[in-house]
Structure 1
Amino acid sequence: MKTYIKGIALIIGFSFASCEDVIDVDVPTGQIRLVIEASLDWEKGTLGNNQTIKLSTSTPYFETEVIPVVTGASVKVVDMDTNQEYVFIDQNDGRYTISNFVPIIGNTYNLEVIYDNETFTATETLIAVPDFNSITQSTEGGFDDELLEVNVYFDDPADEDNYYLFSFYEPGDLFANVDNFSDEFLNGNEIYNFFEKEDDDDNDQAAFQPGDTVEISFYGISEQFYNFSSIIIEQYYGGGDPFSSTAAEARGNCINETNSDNYAYGYFRVTEVVKASYTFQ
């Protein structure tokens, strides 16, 4: 009897296998666009003269193996206050570099990218960032009083609007944790920020333990980059949340002066950044 039942099950299995059809889903593909990664970040304590701008093109959603780089473009940045022009050299791998950039706090810089007979421009002002007052650790200031968190303190300049971007990264993690905020309700005070991690097998992430190191980058950013990054951060951390807002196309500040409909992705920013490394005790 058992043999008979097994035989029936085997026949049914083959029947289902033979009835499977491969369905090819034609996924719509958006227009291929230029992607501009132009973050001119001046780290405190350095000259800031070595800078890199990356150009590529967008790809279909399911094509993740190769990022198509852009070569042969013309890339330059002009200091609008001094009229100094900085021409970035094509490295033939999507990178355009320069070694004589002069960052000046408060100056306004204009980016110009000429690619495929079209001109893309963007404008940003170099924003200063405060120094760290102190970096500590605790288990009391975060969301979970059993998890270690790193705490960062700095003084916000009084009587001015300031916007900040933080990046926390433990070597070995897939991604850095990024957040931004303004001093709207904290103007002129010492500001405190923290970061803690939970165990997350999906992202191969573990909570902080004694001996772990976290790399901290702290940027002074413009209001327009604050607004842009807020959209990116909300969409990234809201992924998979059924109550999150509908994802919208996040456009940066790079404008196509030749054909406005063929806009670029990415952003041009000019910031001062302070970096630190903290090891948990």
Structure 2
Amino acid sequence: MNMMIFSKFRFFLLICVIGMLFSCEKVVDLNLNKTDPKIVIEALLSNELKGHQFYISRSLNFNENTTREGLTGAQVKLQDNLGNTFNFMDHGEGVYQSPRMRGVPGRTYTLTVNFQGKIFTAISKMPEQVNIDLLTQTESTFFNETRNAIEVTFKDPPNQVNYYYFRTYVNGEPRSKLYVESDRFTNGKEVKHVLYFDEPDLIAKDQVRVQLYTIDATVFRYLYTIDAIDGSSGPPTAPANPVSNLSSGALGYFSASTVSEKFIVLR
């Protein structure tokens, strides 16, 4: 299960509280251990033929040992614009899985979640697939320290706006660093994007798997905001509300995405 988005949102809540403390002239007694719980949905549908797993949880307080509580008993349904409907099975601990199916590029999907009578919905159109052409081992140097990195090469389709989300795995384990990009400056060009790894660094014989997801504009804005708040691509920015495509105040996102992946073993 990918915990990255949830941990980053918890960090966002803490930054908001700190910002409130420094922006108020009068003394404010804030209880960091009590926050309003929110429904959190992470729903990533791809064009892979498989049972797709979506995750539903409730955010918890800062003083609790885990960042979220998996929720059972929800009704989860996915429908495309041709009327095809897929009902998800409750597998416990907040995991909901579809029957074996694949998303189709160009189709629009509507997610509906009913939890204790409250309805959460989101809509996402699956973009066309963009394939990774090449993974290359490279190096990056910061403050006289050299580390291994991975350069991803792919061709951005011309005459359309494209948004990308990278997921990385090292020796089968997911890495939490969040990478999102648009083709604002690379439309129709060959793109060479460098992915940086730390904690721990990449070493010889590590096997790295890179997944390139194409995402829609709404999901890109949500992930980009989380990335900016967390500081994964630079210094953290001032808190801004991540705008989810989910209704009824839910956190998280629903994305209908195509995916391409490649592997590389470090020298």
TM-score tier (shorter): 0.7 to 0.9
Matches of residues 88-107 of structure 1 in structure 2 within 5 Å? Answer: 88-107=88-107
Matches of residues 258-273 of structure 1 in structure 2 within 5 Å? Answer: 263-273=249-259
Q: Is the 8 A contact 1:138 1:150 kept in 2?
A: yes
Distance 1:250 1:62, change over 3 A: farther
**TM-score normalised to structure 2 length:** 0.80
In structure 1, how many angstroms separate the alpha carbons of the residues matched to 2:97 and 2:128? 23
The alpha carbon displacement at 1:270 in A equals 0.9
Counterpart of 1:29 (choices 30, 34, 47) is: 34
| Alignment coverage as a number of residue pairs | 237
Counterpart of 1:255 (choices 244, 247, 256) is: 247
Q: Is the 8 A contact 1:90 1:96 kept in 2?
A: yes
**TM-score normalised to structure 1 length:** 0.76
Counting aligned pairs with the same residue, the percent is 25
The equivalent residue for 1:280 is 266
Q: Is the 8 A contact 1:163 1:180 kept in 2?
A: yes
Q: Is the 8 A contact 1:158 1:187 kept in 2?
A: yes
C-alpha RMSD over aligned residues: 2.6
Matches of residues 1-281 of structure 1 in structure 2 within 5 Å? Answer: 26-27=31-32, 29-43=34-48, 47=49, 49-65=50-66, 67-80=68-81, 82-139=82-139, 142-144=140-142, 146-171=146-171, 175-197=175-197, 205-237=199-231, 244-256=236-248, 263-281=249-267
In structure 2, how many angstroms separate the alpha carbons of the residues matched to 1:150 and 1:84? 39
In structure 1, how many angstroms separate the alpha carbons of the residues matched to 2:67 and 2:221? 30
Paired AA for residue 37 in structure 1: E
The alpha carbon displacement at 1:26 in A equals 4.1
Q: Which runs of 5+ in 1 are unaligned?
A: 1-24, 199-204, 257-262
Larger radius of gyration between Structure 1 and Structure 2? 1
Runs of 4+ in 1 over 6 A off after TM superposition: none
Specify which structure has the higher proportion of strand: 2
The alpha carbon displacement at 1:207 in A equals 3.0
Q: Is the 8 A contact 1:169 1:177 kept in 2?
A: no
Q: Is the 8 A contact 1:128 1:272 kept in 2?
A: yes
Q: Is the 8 A contact 1:51 1:99 kept in 2?
A: yes
Distance 1:278 1:73, change over 3 A: same
Paired AA for residue 184 in structure 1: R
Q: Is the 8 A contact 1:129 1:218 kept in 2?
A: no
The alpha carbon displacement at 1:91 in A equals 1.9
Q: Which runs of 5+ in 2 are unaligned?
A: 1-29
Distance 1:94 1:147, change over 3 A: closer
In structure 1, how many angstroms separate the alpha carbons of the residues matched to 2:75 and 2:187? 41
The alpha carbon displacement at 1:102 in A equals 3.7
Paired AA for residue 44 in structure 2: S
